[in-house]
Structure 1
């Protein structure tokens, strides 16, 4: 049986080349493995936290230096015919040596490596991993192959390393090095399982498993007859593998298995699949592989129709409206993301109604813990291959690295039933057409051969059970614009970059794979990152923690369409967060109402990797923004919104549940002081997975004086509220709030009663205590209405404390020093 000895202890880190402060030179510090040079240097007190203040700028030398990890091997595994040193991940350009002898070199963070050290490892052997700066590798290759266009001034497209580690419009520039995934010694005899590639499908109710295997044998093992047994539950199949055969295939039929479904569509049935390799003569078990699999079918419907070309994910022949989020690495220092942190973040996504997570191409192929959590939670995974926002050379050595990386990760991830789509790249096909690349490249390679040639070939060969799509955005043909909203997935960024979010209403894309609006993180997150700074929108630290080009300018221009200018930092933070939630609500409400023409929305983005102003719904400290709570409404199975069709207001009753929905929408036109001017009852009956659009009755839908009237649509607990003019023109009364509290063992309930119309009430619990949380986001109340907010993590508050952390649009738009509205 294969025996494994983890190599996690006794490691040290030292500078091996490059410029560094004096206190770093000539010292070795304890190192964590898995880990990175940044985390080890921080633990040793040699560098400050790069997430605080402007420290990131003072640490660029770390990424340009060379580093050596070293340990002495003393805990050796039991001997076998073969001993191998296995690295699951090296970041990135490394030379691995044992007792001074070079075992091999690496240049790809996204691959694993295995070195034969049979007979070479003894107690006291010295293992060294010398990392050359990724800049040295990337810049050297750029000099040899020639410059390629890139969205950012860093050479990430010349090295197979996490692109966003070189900085992004939401991320810091922290070019890491280190043993970032586990390392171990393995010993084995006769043969081992090198590759297990299970093709899992369903046909006429029968679960089908075709386990394609690759074996590696010792010299003596080449002459052994072996057996391979594949088991799923009580169902097994065994084949005999003759001598010299290294690629057996085992077929297994599982009768009537429980199917795996995305959340909201059925149960997430998972079945343990084991593959056992044994010696046929002795019955000795030589190796075993075990994973959980799920039986389901996946199809990507891209058929032509009257609206263009579809882009609809179908699971078990059922079309799914994708309520999605884009996922970036959850920490710029990757080894700090534990399985528990993966699970917590994905639980947050599921609790918000998300059913699809897109793993974006500028990050990494995530740990198994990520995909296993998605398997359990029913979160569909769209997996990008790792290419983003740049032209990628197709010459060697990159081409060989790309193919090896793709082959390994397709096989590594394919057992996970949550994985439903392989995608070739992020925005590179679009960039070639629209960002001036074609002229600049002048015929040089740029990645098209990967996206339209190499990658689809690899997926077709290794994982034909899943669809592959060349890129996002991509319209399916160079005969159309790559970002044509009528064909394939669309990225909607002109709205954020140049226009107002109301322009989301101008299009009905087939699938919106990226769209978003920025907002700052929670107050406590910013304060922890900038502990000594007077917080202002334009203060040095706040601007440093805003990486988007003219990001704050775009925030301010976005506010100006709707609100009077904020007078304080607190107003700015609150209103930008409100504007973010409103922008996403505008897009999602409109696009959901267009189902099935529009088959999905994938928010940019769920999470952050450090404390920053960004498009995320959950900030870099894990605190939900108001947008997160708004997602819980927008991505619920049932949604009621007021939309516009042909210039007239309508009700969109969206039922993405599996049961019919019948009821009545109560529509009112109400004066700001509470008087109902007109009302109507609109009955509806919506089939499962369907949308019904109903006109708002004539007497209700038109405002007489839009400055003092609101349109309110209610059914059950669902509500949508529409103003007839921008908030800056609306005659908001000063917010009158009555607040009472009741103690809980770990917090309190806060009951808030409105004496006036109150718009987008927000309780910022983190201002009471950094660890405090709340279960509600933005709340709009009519006069006399109450809401209950649960706060956890704080139990003792005064009325004054609470009032200081309650924010409303009223307070920002109705103050005495505002210009009087006539």
Structure 2
């Protein structure tokens, strides 16, 4: 015990300066290989001039750098993408570039310096101070690199790094197929860049130093890939004192010195030190497992809607026998345990967190930005939007990437479970016959060509993200398994050894996930559906992909559609060329009940009504049959990495459309709703506790907003269930005989606080919204005030003598320019205010300094107005 205390106090007194890590994210320059004929040995010398080189964006791609230097137009605007040369047509040399960066760094004594690259696409040769760093060309987009560069550092500390970066060997022909002609999948890269049904081709196929580059200085030892596993036995509740949880840890240690080193690997948690004695021979690298630690009364991590998401941080340190700190590696984790079981009633996989079954309400995610322009702020905003939609899971589609640690950090923060695919997709990897593909199915079935590289990359990426509590499931691929000599090593050896705590699905719509009793592919459909179908048609019990629409409002369309192309699509007619290029899905007869669109602005407004109703009904229908028909559903898709017009709850510029708010409403953890088949008022309780002594209230209003009937009943709702209460069909028969009506549902507690509220607009018997088309113009009184930094409170009132103010949108704008402030997180939007009613809402947004701000309000029968902020 005495020696233990001496070591503890030695550690407490050590200044943790042994490790220094910083990112090389500015001051880069680049030049095309077709314009630069000097070799890497010369270019990596500080004395070599770089005349005529462009400033380079790192992390970033060649195309991003060209765009930032105004060498190409914005490929996301209009049809500009057609003006940019495609790598398949030019040959790889056109997008092969040198990237050069100078930095200052020295090492003395036992200090070691490491160069770490988190992602290069696709090949790279690395030089430092006139010497080759990687003796073999690096290959593979999804693979980290680490090099000990201590011996290559310049004596004066002034160093120059040079990388030659090449595109994928097989960029593929962008011939309009899913992944073009499919050959891009021969390499370990992102096949979506050759084009898909939701995106046009990325011309350089995302060639570049696309992820972060670090320089790290350590002592003689380097800690790598720490691993934290949390085991939470039993069935838990979010509140109250918790039984202990088990913390199991390990870490890799590399001894870079030419001598044996002894010491302790250790960390402290809740005031206690956990340690293991270690001895490493010269040059040795080993995995060290520390003793298990029992964490008393742990703060448990729960998915969104079920509880809080607290995180712990520990620092692994290695201290040698003399008490000298050699290295330190910090890890953030959450305490939770995720498990699955088969639900015999639904015939689908049922997922549990901390012993409690979780009804999955998910969204499919492609990638944050199609040109890989990632940022912590964007990741945080996008994941927060998913939290704002009341979702609890994000699935990462297999045609893109293993998402970055910054994405997972946001998911940890907001309580989003993650379903992570590996890099396979049925479209490129041979699931179907396809005349647009160059190779036959059996050939494509063996993509990528280098299976050993895939397994190496899989092991590396597993280590990169496995500590995140949000990471819930691994999946072999999108709609298809990897080849057998990848699948079985992955599921039987690599994952059990490197993770061992998460369920692995062979592919995204496998029978192991959801029994495919309907035939077909086991997912979809991908078109606009009659809202009633979500309640009446029993689809796949755990659907990995279902959904479609997502056209933004007029402000969104203006960001990427030229004024001359602002033509509203009409039922049965070909859309404008720009709309088609941006993958517009026809709304056709779904718009018509609201009246033929007069122009693009009118079309966009009516599209929002369709959007809202579509996604509210989707989640309401699935939730109404939770644990009976379904164990969950995952929407295709909830975000777009470029300016497409389908499958998005917010646009590329982070501006929400009505999909987001309809989904937010329908996905609420405690939600009152109306079954459109029989007008039965139904309540869904996703929570883990019984909701007692509540009033169910249904109010029916005519189109003028006059109350015609009100029905009330008291009830209680069991945990994790849906419950039918009473029908309102008789009242509807009387009210909708002419032009339609409104149905306002409320769930009230004993203090008459509204726990859930939901308003439906009902059509006339012929299915048309005649009443909406003839509404009088409304006027709202709007006031707002600052509630804190980047926070506003808005109050909207409707005069008692006025008409219904229907389907209103609130936006925060720059008063001088009229441009929206984005992202903006509104507590609600696209809401209706009855005569004499009011609506209070909050807005959170990035602080704007002295920029003058106003509130813009417009609606179905409300003209757009700007209101100053008090």
Name the TM-score, length of structure 1 as normaliser.
0.83
1:771 equivalent among 815, 820, 823: 820
Change (3 A) 1:393 1:213: farther
SS at match of 1:60: coil
1:599 corresponding residue in structure 2: 631
Larger mean Cα displacement after TM superposition, 591-600 or 229-238: 229-238
Indicate whether 1:423 and 2:475 are aligned.
yes
Residues of 1 paired with 2:56 and 2:659: CA distance? 39
Residues of 2 paired with 1:168 and 1:139: CA distance? 12
Indicate whether 1:460 and 2:496 are aligned.
yes
Change (3 A) 1:509 1:755: farther
Change (3 A) 1:733 1:406: closer
SS at match of 1:334: coil
Deviations along 1:456-477, one digit per CA (max 9) or x if unpaired, are 5422221112211122211129
Give the C-alpha shift of residue 504 in structure 1. 2.8
Residues of 1 paired with 2:454 and 2:232: CA distance? 31
Contact 1:322 / 1:600 at 8 angstroms: preserved in 2?
Answer: yes
Task: Name structure 2 gaps, 5 residues minimum.
Answer: 1-17, 37-49, 235-242, 430-443, 748-753, 787-791, 846-851, 866-870
Contact 1:518 / 1:613 at 8 angstroms: preserved in 2?
Answer: yes
2:309 equivalent among 255, 259, 268: 268
2:568 equivalent among 514, 522, 537: 537
Equivalences for 1:529-568 in 2 at 5 Å? 529-537=560-568, 543-544=577-578, 546=580, 551-552=584-585, 554-560=586-592, 562-568=593-599
1:648 corresponding residue in structure 2: 678
Give the C-alpha shift of residue 599 in structure 1. 2.3
1:663 corresponding residue in structure 2: 694
SS at match of 1:225: strand
Deviations along 1:786-818, one digit per CA (max 9) or x if unpaired, are 556778975488999994339xxxxxxxxxxxx
Deviations along 1:258-304, one digit per CA (max 9) or x if unpaired, are 22222332332322122112223x2222111111122211112224x
Give the C-alpha shift of residue 620 in structure 1. 0.9
Task: Name structure 1 gaps, 5 residues minimum.
Answer: 20-24, 430-445, 807-822
Give the C-alpha shift of residue 164 in structure 1. 2.8
Deviations along 1:283-337, one digit per CA (max 9) or x if unpaired, are 222111111122211112224x133x232221110011223222232222223x2
Residues of 1 paired with 2:233 and 2:735: CA distance? 61
Residues of 1 paired with 2:517 and 2:859: CA distance? 55
Contact 1:359 / 1:382 at 8 angstroms: preserved in 2?
Answer: yes
Contact 1:425 / 1:451 at 8 angstroms: preserved in 2?
Answer: no
Contact 1:490 / 1:511 at 8 angstroms: preserved in 2?
Answer: no
Give the C-alpha shift of residue 619 in structure 1. 0.8
Indicate whether 1:390 and 2:428 are aligned.
yes
Change (3 A) 1:765 1:279: closer
Residues of 2 paired with 1:46 and 1:650: CA distance? 60
1:158 equivalent among 174, 186, 193: 186
1:404 corresponding residue in structure 2: 456
Equivalences for 1:55-134 in 2 at 5 Å? 55-61=80-86, 64=92, 65-71=94-100, 73-79=102-108, 80=110, 82-98=112-128, 99=130, 101=132, 103=134, 104-122=136-154, 126-134=160-168
Indicate whether 1:349 and 2:386 are aligned.
yes
Residues of 1 paired with 2:451 and 2:857: CA distance? 64
Equivalences for 1:147-226 in 2 at 5 Å? 152-153=180-181, 155-174=183-202, 175-188=205-218, 190-203=220-233, 205-218=243-256, 220-221=258-259, 223-226=260-263
Alignment RMSD (CA, Å): 3.7
Name the TM-score, length of structure 2 as normaliser.
0.79
Give the C-alpha shift of residue 54 in structure 1. 1.7
Indicate whether 1:306 and 2:345 are aligned.
yes
Give the C-alpha shift of residue 341 in structure 1. 2.1
Give the helix-richer structure, 1 or 2.
1
1:628 equivalent among 660, 663, 668: 660
Give the C-alpha shift of residue 345 in structure 1. 2.4
Residues of 2 paired with 1:802 and 1:559: CA distance? 17
Change (3 A) 1:661 1:735: farther
Give the C-alpha shift of residue 201 in structure 1. 1.5
Deviations along 1:63-107, one digit per CA (max 9) or x if unpaired, are 852332333545123244654432121122222234263623222
SS at match of 1:115: strand
Change (3 A) 1:802 1:591: closer
2:863 corresponding residue in structure 1: 804
Indicate whether 1:12 and 2:20 are aligned.
no
Contact 2:348 / 2:513 at 8 angstroms: preserved in 1?
Answer: no
Equivalences for 1:720-759 in 2 at 5 Å? 720-721=759-760, 722-723=762-763, 725=765, 727-728=767-768, 730-732=770-772, 734-745=774-785, 749-753=795-799, 755-756=802-803
Residues of 1 paired with 2:738 and 2:485: CA distance? 57
